Every structure is written in structure tokens, then in C-alpha cells.
Structure 1
């Protein structure tokens, strides 16, 4: 026999009054991350880089299965909608757009404008802006650059860095366009290619480009072998987001970026 609202069960009247409750205060800083639809790596890395006291909220933006100048530019038309998928009641300390080459193609200022049109945040960053901030924090001006992508995509990034006063005299690429292949490039392949690129010219740092490239675990080995800071898209983006939020980054996994900036909580 069905029992409806207000009916008695076993001779006892059903309780219809709502329970009282209190609302908790939100004290933890909140960081937003807009991830490419095709990216399989950055959320895994951010679980290791973002400390427990920070709330991380993630949205996705449509992206092509292949990375070309055209597919990167098309993301601009979806960024505001992706940012608008964050809960409307949230005031973020910082929001990051997680695409290095997309930022170089669209422009960091335009990325920030599009993100702010969809959500409320005190700051917006991206891997390119974060890389420039990291280089300034470490005093780097000449980078070896390893990218998974085809030449036209990589050239736009190099031009953007040059405009910020960062030279990339040594460059190498896996020349891959498909994101499903980029995410499967293994650690030994990255280490071997990075060592070759870094030996091509005098440099004071190495940058491993692409949020979908699995780089986090190769950074300590490369820094030991090369004796220079090794930066990656995901490392610098997490570092900059936490810095903007006023939160020290954890010291694991180890890197010179974290060690040499002393985990300061400066909003820069």
C-alpha cells in the first residue's frame, strides 16, 4: 500500500515540518580552472599542486581534437560560456584558462576579458602570463622551449614570449597535432627531447609547453641533469594562481620555481 505525504504509518503521523539549519561561512580561497575538453592531464596535476586548504572548481571549454591556429582561435567564442558554468554565487580569488597555445593565439588580455564576462573573479591568469611571471621571479630571460605542437602554433607562442622580453633561442617539437597523442608522450621521450633542445644554445631555463603534456614527474630529473630551472605549463599556472590567491604552493613535487620563490604568498 502506498503511503503519501501526511499519511500515518504504523499509527504515527508523518512529520512534515522542515528541519532547522545554519549556513556555514566560506573561508577557503576559491580558484577556478577552465580546462580544454581534450585535456586529460591538468586536473590530475592540479590535485597534486593545489593544497587542501584551497577549493578548486573546474569548468570545461570546447576544443578541437587537433591543435591548429584555427581551432585555438575558435575557443575564444566559447570562453565566456565556459566561465559562466561556474556557480554564480562564487567570488573567485583567481581563475585560470588552461591553454598555453590558446592564450598565445587569442591574447592574454582578451582571455581575461572573456573570462570576466562569465564569472566574478579578483584575477585571471593563463599559462603564458604565468610563465612570464615565473621567469621574472627567477630572473630568467633565455629559455629552451619544448613543445608537442606543429610549427605555426609554436611560433605564435615564441613571438608572444619575445614581446615580453623572453628569448627562446633553443626550440624543439614533437610535431604532433592530435591531443590524444600528446597526452600519451611518455616521460623518457620528454626527457630525451628536452636535453637535446637545452643543449642547442646557452639558456638559463627550460619550458615544457602544453597543459596536456605529462611533465610534472620529469621536472626534478631534468633540473638535476641540466642544472637550470625547468618550468611547465601546469606548474607555472598552479604557482601563479596560488600566488594571486595569496596561498603558498606546496613543496611537492619539488622544483626550483617553488624552492627559489620560497613559497611566498605574494599577489603578483
Structure 2
């Protein structure tokens, strides 16, 4: 039997990681559209509840380090994203970052909440309308975290749907109608479509055209911030540039 020589190559850079909720059906598909092909992207899942409640969100802290530890051993990431907006608000971005770094080697950790704050700062947004699929109590802590960062949320609307499987199937036209109704005439600088499981990429441009203001989503700002942190080439200054 012949034995052939071989050489080793380094993985492509930037090297991104993504921790996706077990119940999420949307984030990975959106990232295939948002992340350039030359960027390495590895994905793990984290156990999550069938319904979204403050308790089910907080329970993910018990699995965060173990989920990060399932990435390939010895792989050095440039940045890893934790894909849950409300989960970050419940657990805390600093705690998420610390637990992820305990499980794997990465220079940066981000999440949709941290990314949203960075997007608002880069776009001069200080007043935000938020459309969430979940019951209001789930978003209370998110709004408080934003207030702590100097971002007011005077307009808030919801589909009041706790079941993740139903959130992933909310129709585009209903998101456009709800987002337009919420932000139209409101004293806000931008609209935020919260939740990584909400299908938003196809509705951002129509809403921007209707409202004449920036429209962000959890998946859009997370992808943008990951690329910003790694200083990937040709990253736009604002998240909506990824859709151009």
C-alpha cells in the first residue's frame, strides 16, 4: 500500500463561529446570504426552549460553555457570535462573552444586542422602535439594556407569539405591515426587528423605502458586527450596507 506525503494549510481568515439556538430555523440561512464566501464560518447549536420565556432564556447559561466547547479543539477564532437577542439581554453580554471564551479560543465574542448598540452608534440612532415576535415581558430586559446604553425605545410592538416554531413562519407581509405601522409617525430614528428566528432579510429594504429610516434586524447587525470585529475587507460602515 503506497503512503503519500502531504502538506498542511491554515484555515481561511477571518475565522468566525456562530452559536445558534436549537429552536432557530432562520439564522444560518441568513448568514449564508450575509457572510462573504471567503470567510470561514463554523456553527454549533445550544439547547433552547420550545417556548420563549425569561426562564427558558436564562437556562441557556447552563449550556453556553459546553456549546462553545464543541467547536474543533485548537481552532482559533477571530470572532464568535451568540445568536439570541433576548437571551443576551437576560444573561448579560459580558457573561455570554466570558462563558464562550471558557469553551474555546476566540479574540472576540458578540451577540445581537451588542451588535445593535454598535449599529446604533455607527448610524447616530438614539431612539429606536422595536418590533418583537415575543410577549412583552420577554423584551423588558432588552429595552432596559438599550436604555443603559443611551438608546431609548419609545415605540414597541409585538406579535405576542411565544412558540419558536411559529415565529420562524411569520409571513413577510405581516412583518412589513406591523413594522410600518409601528414606526410610521413615531419619534424614532430607526426600526429594529428583534429575534434571530424572525425572517427579516427580505423585508428590510421595503420597510426602509416606506419609512425613510434605517431598519435593522438581529441577524443583520450580528453578521455586520462579526465582520467589523475581524476587520474583514470591504465591510460597510453601517449594517444595511450588507444588503446592497
Q: Same fold (TM over 0.5)?
A: yes
1:257, CA displacement in angstroms?
A: 3.1
User: d(CA) in 1 for partners of 2:57 and 2:10?
Assistant: 39
Q: Which residue pairs with 1:7 in the alignment?
A: none
Q: Which residue pairs with 2:195 in the alignment?
A: 210
Residue from 140, 144, 152 that aligns with 1:167 = 152
Give secondary structure in 1 for the equivalent of 2:36: coil
Q: Which residue pairs with 1:237 in the alignment?
A: 222
- C-alpha contact 2:115 2:221 (8 A) present in aligned 1: yes
Are positions 1:87 and 2:87 aligned together? Answer: no
User: d(CA) in 1 for partners of 2:240 and 2:229?
Assistant: 15
Give secondary structure in 1 for the equivalent of 2:203: helix
1:248, CA displacement in angstroms?
A: 4.1
Give secondary structure in 2 for the equivalent of 1:60: strand
- C-alpha contact 1:100 1:233 (8 A) present in aligned 2: yes
Are positions 1:222 and 2:204 aligned together? Answer: no
How has the CA–CA distance of structure 1 residues 219 and 256 changed in structure 2, closer, same or farther, with 3 Å as cutoff? farther
Q: Which residue pairs with 1:182 in the alignment?
A: 167
Q: Which residue pairs with 2:239 in the alignment?
A: 257
Give secondary structure in 2 for the equivalent of 1:89: coil
How has the CA–CA distance of structure 1 residues 62 and 249 changed in structure 2, closer, same or farther, with 3 Å as cutoff? farther
1:156, CA displacement in angstroms?
A: 1.1
1:1-268 mapped onto 2 (5 Å cutoff)? 15=1, 17-199=2-184, 201-248=186-233, 257-259=239-241
- C-alpha contact 1:242 1:249 (8 A) present in aligned 2: no
Aligned length in residues: 243
How does the TM-score come out when normalised to structure 2?
0.96
- Unmatched 5+ stretches in structure 1: 1-14, 264-268
Give secondary structure in 2 for the equivalent of 1:165: coil
Deviates more, 1:22-31 or 1:169-178: 22-31
Give secondary structure in 1 for the equivalent of 2:103: coil
1:24, CA displacement in angstroms?
A: 1.5
1:151, CA displacement in angstroms?
A: 1.2
User: d(CA) in 2 for partners of 1:104 and 1:25?
Assistant: 36
1:27, CA displacement in angstroms?
A: 3.9
- C-alpha contact 1:63 1:75 (8 A) present in aligned 2: yes
After superposition, give the CA deviation of every residue in 1:192-226 in whole Å (9 maximum; x if it has no partner).
Answer: 00011103621110000000000011000000000
Give secondary structure in 2 for the equivalent of 1:124: strand
User: d(CA) in 1 for partners of 2:96 and 2:138?
Assistant: 17
- Unmatched 5+ stretches in structure 2: none
After superposition, give the CA deviation of every residue in 1:10-56 in whole Å (9 maximum; x if it has no partner).
Answer: xxxxx2x4211111233421100000000000000000000011000
Q: Which residue pairs with 1:266 in the alignment?
A: none
Give secondary structure in 2 for the equivalent of 1:92: strand
User: d(CA) in 1 for partners of 2:62 and 2:233?
Assistant: 34
User: d(CA) in 2 for partners of 1:63 and 1:248?
Assistant: 34
How does the TM-score come out when normalised to structure 1?
0.87
